[in-house]
Chain A
Amino acid sequence: MARVLVVTSGKGGVGKTTSTAALGAALAQSGQNVVVVDFDVGLRNLDLVMGAERRVVYDLINVVQGDAKLAQALIRDKRCDTLSLLPASQTRDKDNLTAEGVARVMDELRERFDWVICDSPAGIERGATLAMRHADTAVVVTNPEVSSVRDSDRIIGLLDSKTELAERGERIEKHLLLTRYDALRAERGDMLKVEDVLEILSIPLLGIIPESADVLKASNLGAPVTLSDATSAPARAYIDAARRLSGETIPMSVPSERKGGLFGKLFGRRAA
């Protein structure tokens, strides 16, 4: 039976889409069948990050409305053949996402794949609640800043009340993915520290992704960072996070992209 994962956050721009693509690719590379679903109807982005924007013919809305079959809309990744994408539509209205339609598509996806990873739109509106509705597991993406942490807290509250699991009286599994983390700046107090964020949100930590130019570079190239350069610091952090999702126990490290030593110190001071 597939595991349905929703990647969500309260605030926009924290790295949900990047994280969806990176985690999806990392899980697919371990040989599991993965589909990433873009729920951000009206503002699609996942296809860009996955480098599949020119291959979109049918999208989630077409499948939800019954205009296309699921097989027609799924795009298989060129680099990793166990990874597929179900893109969102930019031209349709997000109101076309009906609860029944989404439930039907999710049931079909569950049968075909080992992992269904839903990229949620930001905020707490219908699109976001539909994306989280059928999930077994949630990855809450947060930046180490107060506004992001507070909005994530709100989303965790919704995960505990607005999902099918919650309505059945069960608990949805929740994980925190801290992105754009800069250990030096956190140490200087410009950013919240990991323990502060964990203390406020009180859900288990899945991974800490360092702030890195590699992430932006990979997005712009249209490749999930775990596929484009698997040895980079953020890629290693995402791969570890994906292994933790699969149930492995891997020690948590606070990654730092900057090399230590004198050069790092000088660089750090100049950035201040």
Chain B
Amino acid sequence: MTETLPSKKAVRLRGRSFLALVLSPEMPFADWLVELDDLARRSTGFFLNRPIVLDVQGLKLTRDDLAGLVAELEKRNVRIMGIEGAVPSILGPDMPPEMRGGRAAADIEVPEDPAPGEKPAVEKAGAKVAAAMPSAASVSQAHSLIIEEPVRSGQSIVFPEGDVTVLGSVASGAEIIAGGSIHVYGTLRGRALAGSAGKPQARIFCRKLEAELIAIDGLYKTAEDMEAHLVGKPIQAWLEGDALMAAAL
């Protein structure tokens, strides 16, 4: 009679979206695999450690065809994290899980041949490796937004792609919503909501804390809940489990 009810918060389910490389094979697979091998040879390690989704939309496949293709890819060290666009009946328990609801992103550049020599006929294969992984240079560019002016009352800066850096102050009545971290080099008087796209490791930094509200991944603190000794100080805020922590810098 002393059994306690399990806590309702024991299992927490959350959604998250990631960018994955998508491979769209073409029939017959033998030819397509030759082209893939060619691509892999040109850029060693291109498929290594990358999450890859196999898009078989529109292909007339039998269960054996698919199993064979997955096996062939495994032989080439291409790890398939999921299969998109397949009829559920041809998916077996030994195969990667079905994926649904993917949204298209920009095409990915096929890595150039490191040794500029004769170019094999792989353009077609390259075009088929449509996926969503911008090159390293544009990653750093697209994932950070720098605002050089003060953010005025009534303004709302929404940047779900990554970090927001404000060189001036954030006025009361203004808000910054960032997918990543928020850095304010002036006074933070308005609202700062970091990690808005489900990123609990995001942080908030500011030179002077006078915020109306700070939030990371949906967990928030209003001005009233903030420790009095932190107000007016340079602080950082981060998430520790389900607690929003803040400390002087």
- Interface residues of A, Cβ cutoff 8 Å to B: 124, 150-151, 153-154, 156-157, 160, 199-200, 202
A154 and B150 within 8 A (CB): no
Interface of B is mostly: loop
Q: Please tell me if B126 contacts chain A, counting CB pairs below 8 Å.
A: no
B18 shortest CB reach to chain A, Å? 35
A202 partner residues in chain B, CB cutoff 8 A? 150, 168-169
CB of B175 to closest CB in A, whole Å = 12
* Contact size range, B: 10 to 19
A243 CA to B171 CA, complexed, in Å: 30
**Can you name the residue of chain A whose Cβ is closest to the Cβ of B210?**
A200
Whole-angstrom distance between the Cβ of A209 and the nearest chain B Cβ: 23
- When distances are taken between beta carbons in the complex, the residues of chain A under 8 Å from B152 are 153-154, 156-157, 160
Give A175 Cβ to nearest chain B Cβ, in Å. 16
- Shortest beta-carbon distance from A201 to chain B in Å: 8
Q: How far is the CA of A150 from the CA of B171 in the complex (A)?
A: 8
**Given the complex, which residues of A lie within 8 Å of B149, measured CB to CB?**
160
Contacts of A124 in B (CB 8 A): 154
Beyond the given pairs A124-B154, A200-B171, A202-B168, 18 more chain A to chain B contacts, judged by CB atoms under 8 angstroms and listed by A's residue number, are A150-B153, A150-B171, A150-B172, A150-B173, A153-B153, A153-B154, A153-B172, A153-B173, A154-B153, A154-B173, A156-B152, A157-B153, A157-B154, A160-B149, A160-B152, A199-B169, A202-B150, A202-B169
- In the assembly, what is the distance between CA of A93 and CA of B184, in Å? 44
Q: Is B187 an interface residue (CB 8 A)?
A: yes
B77 within 8 Å of A by Cβ?
no
A154 / chain B contacts, CB cutoff of 8 Å? 152-154, 173
B153, chain A: closest CB distance, angstroms? 4
| Chain A residues, Cβ within 8 Å of B172 | 150, 153
The CB with the most chain B CB atoms within 10 A, among A154, A157, A199, is that of A157
**A-B CB proximity, top 5 nearest:** A157-B152, A153-B153, A154-B153, A154-B154, A153-B171
Nearest residue, chain B, Cβ from A153: B153
Query: Which residues from B are CB-within-8-Å of A156?
Result: 152
Minimum distance in angstroms from B209 CB to a CB of chain A: 15
Residues from chain A with Cβ under 8 Å of B153 in the complex: 150-151, 153-154, 157
For A124, A153, A202, the residue with the greatest tally of chain B CB atoms inside 10 Å of its CB is: A153
Report the Cα distance A156→B149, complex, angstroms.
11
> Does any Cβ of A come within 8 Å of B135's Cβ?
no
A150 to B187: give the CA distance in the assembly, Å: 14
* Binary contact readout B164-179 vs A (1 if CB under 8 angstroms, 0 otherwise): 0000110111000000
Neighbour of B187 across the interface among A151, A153, A160, A199, CB < 8 A: A199
Can you list 19 A-B pairs with a CB-CB distance of less than 8 A? A124-B154, A150-B172, A150-B173, A151-B153, A153-B152, A153-B171, A154-B152, A154-B173, A157-B152, A157-B154, A157-B155, A160-B149, A199-B169, A199-B187, A200-B169, A200-B171, A200-B189, A202-B150, A202-B168
Residues of chain A within 8 A (CB-CB) of B187 are 199
- Per-position 1/0 for B116-151, Cβ under 8 A of A: 000000000000000000000000000000000110
Q: Which residue of A lies closest to B172 (CB)?
A: A150
In the complex, which residues of chain A have a beta carbon less than 8 angstroms from the beta carbon of B150? Answer: 202
Q: Which A residues are in CB contact (< 8 Å) with B189?
A: 200
Chain B residues closer than 8 Å to A153, beta-carbon distance: 152-154, 171-173
Chain B contacts for A199, CB-based, 8 A: 169, 187
Q: Which residues of A contact B171 (CB under 8 A)?
A: 150, 153, 200
Q: In the bound complex, how far is the Cα of B149 from the Cα of A79, in angstroms?
A: 43
Residue of A nearest to B154 (CB): A154
C-alpha gap A199/B170 in the complex (Å): 11
